[in-house]
Amino acid sequence: MKIVNKPLLFFTFCTPMVLHADEEERFNAYLNIEQQASADISGSSSSFKQKRIQINLDKELYLDDMNTMSVGLGLERIDITSNALLPGSNAKIPNEIKGGRINLSWSHEFESGKEFNLSGALGSLSDKPFKGSDSLSKELEASLLMPTGAGNAWIVGMGASDDGGLNDLPSLAFQWNKSERFQALIGLPFIEVNWQPFEQVELTAILADKESELSTSYNFNDDTAISLSHGKGGWTGRRFARSDKKSFMNYEETRTALTLSQNFGPAVFGLSGGVITDRSLSENKDGSTRNSDLNIKDAHFIALNFGMEF
């Protein structure tokens, strides 16, 4: 199991894990606690500081030789310390944003080897979560995997969500497994490449609608690893509903992180630290038209991660 310093809530794309007859049902748990240093807001005497806590639980269920299911529950809380006002409405930034999300996915494997995946999610992340339909986030995605041999496959999919964006368009990708050390998922609107040039070194590149990341990791042994990552993603580009104004807050950032992870049997601990740059906060009413951004200066962060699989 490997710690990844990104939230497990509100993913742009859902890729259900498929269990086959020779695999066991699994339960995964993930906890992330992050503290960001206070930073000034450009052109203002105000400052901005965040603390984030995330919990994600996921249970994979084996139904029969052809069908599997996955059920997930995510919880998140973001504490914000700032007396700044949002541009446009001049409303105070909420001190607390919290919410939850339920994911459900189903996979069917045909006798031909093709796999059909269907997933749905319902959640709310707001200053007052689950208060009316405006605070809800809804997603539905379907995909068909068509093997071509040698571990390769074509994947076609379609998604719909109230966030809009490229995930509402049909997607087409090719899953390329060149070797045990090189795998790639190449398509529209996303690309993911994983390359292991040496036994202990692994390189990963992810480019998607709302996320992008480049990372490299070095494995000291089977249980200890260190990684360096840089990207615009994780929990960036997310929309937070404000109940009082029926509008949304957009928070974006770019972060560079150094992470040390250590396995202890089925559990893994991770300690991350780094710097957050290119931060902005804006507000809109329809999910697309933005008011002027509130630019936040760079800040350091530290995060503690814990994961378990059994």
Per-domain boundaries in the chain: 27-309
Cα atoms found within 13 Å of the Cα of residue 56, Cβ hemisphere only: 23
Nearest residue to 152 via CA among 128, 173, 123? 173
Between residues 175 and 23, which one has the greater pLDDT?
175
∠ Cα 14 16 19 (to 5°) = 175
* Least confident interval from 102-111, 117-126, 165-174, 238-247: 238-247
Per-residue pLDDT at 233: 66
pLDDT of residue 211: 78
So what's the pLDDT on residue 263?
A: 96
The two structure tokens encoding residue 159: 């998604």
pLDDT for 9: 29
Query: What is the CB neighbour count within 10 angstroms for residue 148?
Result: 12
What's the sign of the alpha-carbon dihedral 110, 102, 133, 235?
negative
3-state secondary structure of 168: helix
Give the CA distances from residue 92 to residues 73, 98, 201, 289, in Å, rounded to whole numbers and listed in that order: 30, 17, 46, 20
114: pLDDT strictly greater than 50: yes
For residues 78-105, average pLDDT = 88
Q: Name residue 253's amino acid.
A: E
User: Letter for the amino acid at 173?
Assistant: A
In a 13 Å sphere around the CA of 221, the CA atoms on its Cβ side amount to 4
Instruction: Compute the average pLDDT of residues 219-228.
Output: 97
Residue 310, burial from CB neighbour count under 10 angstroms (0-12, 13-18, 19+) = exposed
Higher pLDDT among residues 6 and 227, named by residue: 227
Query: What residue has token string 């995964």?
Result: 28
Alpha-carbon 128 to chain mean position: 22
Per-residue tokens: 34: 């992050």
- Using pLDDT thresholds of 50, 70 and 90, give the confidence band for residue 16: very low
For residue 49, how many C-alpha atoms fall within 13 Å in the half-sphere facing its CB?
9
The continuous run of DSSP H or E covering 303 comes out as strand 299-309
Percent of the chain with pLDDT over 70: 82
pLDDT at 123 over 70: yes
Single-letter amino acid, residue 231: G
As a whole number of Å, the CA-based R_g of the chain is 20
Q: Spell out a b/e string for 160-188, using b for 16 or more CB atoms within 10 Å of the CB, else e.
A: ebebeeebeeebebebbeeeeeebbbebe
Of 279, 259, 277, residue with least CA distance to 269: 259
pLDDT value, residue 196: 97
Q: How far is 123 from 104, CA to CA, in rounded Å?
A: 12
- Distance separating alpha carbons of residues 122 and 118, to the nearest angstrom: 14
For the segment 44-49, the average pLDDT, to the nearest whole number, is 92
d(CA 72, CA 57): 6
Q: What's the confidence (pLDDT) of residue 238? A: 55
